[in-house]
A = this chain, B = another copy of it.
Amino acid sequence: MNNIYEDLKDALDKKQGVALATVVGGPAHVGTKLLVFPNKTAHGTLGLPELDEYVRADAANAIWSGDASIFSYSLPTAQSFDVFIEGFPPPPMLIIVGAGHIAIPLTIFAKTLNYRVVVIDARAAFATRERFPSADELIVAWPDETLEKMDLYPSTSVAVLTHDPKFDEPTLKVVLTRNFGYIGAIGNRKTGADRAERLLKQGLTEEQIKRIHGPIGLNIGGAEPEEMALAIMAEIVAVRHHKNPTEILDWTKK
């Protein structure tokens, strides 16, 4: 049991997502615990492999919602268990692809909102510590190759700001086939439509392509890089909180 708490502390310290499940009611095993990680591996047992299996799926979801609540499970053996599942989400992450002029204020906004910020650009002159003093990670490499090796989660947002199909299309192709929370890409409607057509020809589905937010950001006006960055950050937060477009402007629902 102590091992479970050590692993929990370790996951929290490392700011990895984790969920803790505890049997709080049932014919047996009350107090047993299961720790579930983002990749759905687990540590510990609730006493019955079948119960572990059910709980693992709900616990993995709780990691991202951060919810704490009791779930009830009826096993085929007719035994019922109440399991308290607490999710501990990792800090949300923003991956900025393209270290241009919008990326600078976007990094400031995201850091202020306690996001982990990773900036990727193949151009070493752009992705510098001088330009991004507060970024958690600066990666000078091809974005698609970098993203292929990264863990993406439902709390991961990706902002593609390269303005260059040679970078943004391979990036979108990698991200759209993965698990992630938000993806937005810069470019006007025409650019977006052309890009969608090319991605479709390259084998992505319409459903995958529809997940791209483009033109990126809420339409709050203004053409300054700082205003663009603000519009993008506001959209990322709105999507994270599952606000649909009509709700966001509906002051009567606040």
A254 at the interface (CB under 8 A from B): yes
- Seen from chain A, the residues whose Cβ lies within 8 Å of a Cβ on chain B are 105, 108-109, 112-114, 188-189, 213-215, 218-222, 224, 226-227, 229-231, 233-234, 237-238, 240-243, 245-254
CB-nearest residue of chain B relative to A247? Answer: B219
Contact A250 B245 (CB under 8 A): yes
Give the copy number. 2
Interface-central residue, A214, A222, A245, A251, by most chain B CB under 10 Å: A251
Secondary structure class of chain A's binding surface, majority of residues: helix
Contact of A189 among B246, B247, B252 (CB under 8 A): B252
Q: Of all chain B residues, which has the CB nearest A244?
A: B249
Identify A220's interface contact among B105, B214, B238, B246, CB under 8 A: B238
- B215 near A254: Cβ-Cβ < 8 Å: yes
Say whether A219 contacts B113, CB under 8 Å: no
Query: Is the CB–CB distance between A243 and B230 below 8 Å?
Result: no
B251 touches A215 (CB 8 A): yes
The contact of A221 among B221, B233, B243, by CB within 8 Å, is: B243
Can you list 16 contacts pairing A with B, beta carbon distance less than 8 Å? A113-B227, A188-B254, A189-B254, A214-B251, A215-B251, A219-B247, A219-B249, A219-B250, A219-B253, A219-B254, A220-B234, A220-B238, A220-B243, A221-B241, A230-B237, A231-B234
